[in-house]
Amino acid sequence: MNDVFLKACRGEKVEYTPVWLMRQAGRYLPEYQAVRGNVDFLTLCKTPELAAKVTLQPVDILGVDAAILFSDILIAVEAMGMNLEFSDKKGPVLSEPIRTKSAVARLTVPDTEDSMPFVLETIKILRKELKVPLIGFSGAPFTLATYMIEGGSSKNFLHTKKMMFQNRGLFDYLMKKLTKTVISYLSAQIVAGAQAVQLFDSWAGVLAPSDYKESALPYVKKAVTAIRKEHPETPIIYFVNDCAGILKDAKKSGADVIGIDWRVDMSEAVKKLGKKVVIQGNLDPCALFLPKEMIDDRVIDILDKAKAAKGHIFNLGHGILPETPVENAIAMVEAVHKYSRS
C-alpha cells in the first residue's frame, strides 16, 4: 500500500511529494470516453462496477498517489429531493430551484445507505482493488447551495446572494440542512472505506471576504468539527477555488489540508496559511498545455515554494480540462515525483 499521500495529509515526513489531480477520472482519458460512450453520466455514477472502473483508470494511467471516488457533488443534492439532469450543453440542471421556505422544508437530510447505496458499494469495491488511498468527497454547503438556489451553474450567483442578503433566515435554514447532509454523507463514506475526504468549495471565492466569513465558513467549520469528532484519524481536505482573498479565513475551517487554486502564488499561500496546515495545489490546469520542459519549470517552482509549508500535496488548482493531452498529465506526475525526491 502506497501511503505517501496519507502521511503528507498528516504533515509527516515523506520520501517524495504525493500528487493526484482533481477530476482525474474524466473526459480527457480515451478509456473514460469508452465507458461513457455506453452510459449517461448519472448512470455511470450509480453503477458501482463502472464507477469503480473509471476511478481506477487514472491511477494506472497517470501513476498518481491517491484515487478519488468517481461520483459528483450533485448526487447528494438529488438525494435530498431535487430533480437532477446533466445536459451536454448546459451542464447540471436542477429543475425547480430552491427559493422558498416550503421548498427548503421539502428537502430531506438523506440517509446514505438508503438513498445513495451505490456510493458506498463503489467505495467497498475500490478498497479491494486499490493500492493507493481512496479519497471520498462532498460539495461544501455553500457550493451545494449555489446549485440548488440557481438551479444549475451560474455567472453572478444573483439568486444565491439575494437569498443571503434579503432572506437570511431562509438561507440559514437551507445551509443548516446542507451541513447535516454533508456530515452524514462524508461519515458514511468513511465508514464504507474512504481514507480521506475532500470538501469542494468551488464557488466560495465569489463571496466578498466578510460574506464568506459569515455565510460559508461557519458551516464548513461545523462540518469539519463533526466529522473530526466521529473519525479523528481521517484527514479532511478543504478545497477553496479563487481563494486568494479568503485564505486566512479558510484556514479557520479546521481542515488538515487546504486546497488552493493557481491564482495565488504558492509563497503567498504558505505565508497566509502558516505552519499548521498542509497545502494542496496549485498548478494552473492550462499549464498542462505548455511544452513539457516548461511544465517541469512550473512544477519545480511550486515544489520549491511549498517546502516552507507544514506539508505539500501536489495537485492542479482546479479540475483537469477535457482537452488536456494525457501525456502531459503523465509528464506532470513524473516531474512531481522526480524533482521532489532530489
Catalytic site positions: 23, 27, 36, 72, 147
Cis peptide before 38 (omega within 30 of 0): no
Provide the binding-site residues for ligand CP3, judged by CB under 6 A: 22-27, 36, 41, 68, 70-74, 86, 91-92, 137, 153, 200, 202, 319
- One-letter amino acid at 244 equals A
Angle at 111 between CA 108 and CA 112, to 5 degrees: 125
111 versus 323: smaller Cβ distance to ligand CP3: 323
Task: Tell me which residue of 130, 183, 188, 181 sits closest to 6, measured CA to CA.
Answer: 130
91 versus 291: smaller Cβ distance to ligand CP3: 91
147 versus 171: smaller Cβ distance to ligand CP3: 147
For residues 68 and 122, give the distance between their C-alpha atoms in angstroms, rounded to a whole number.
Answer: 11
Q: Provide the residue count of the chain.
A: 342
For residues 255 and 204, give the distance between their C-alpha atoms in angstroms, rounded to a whole number.
Answer: 16
For residues 127 and 159, give the distance between their C-alpha atoms in angstroms, rounded to a whole number.
Answer: 40
What residues does 313 pair with on adjacent strands? 280
Q: Are 49 and 42 in contact (CB under 8 A)?
A: no
- Radius of gyration of the CA atoms of the chain, in A: 19
Q: What is the number of the residue whose Cβ is closest to ligand CP3?
A: 202
Least CB distance from residue 27 to ligand CP3, whole Å?
A: 5
72 versus 172: smaller Cβ distance to ligand CP3: 72
Least CB distance from residue 82 to ligand CP3, whole Å?
A: 13
139 versus 311: smaller Cβ distance to ligand CP3: 139
Least CB distance from residue 137 to ligand CP3, whole Å?
A: 5
Least CB distance from residue 316 to ligand CP3, whole Å?
A: 10
Q: Give the neighbor-by-neighbor strand order of the sheet with 236-240.
A: 67-68, 134-139, 196-201, 236-240, 257-260, 278-283, 312-316
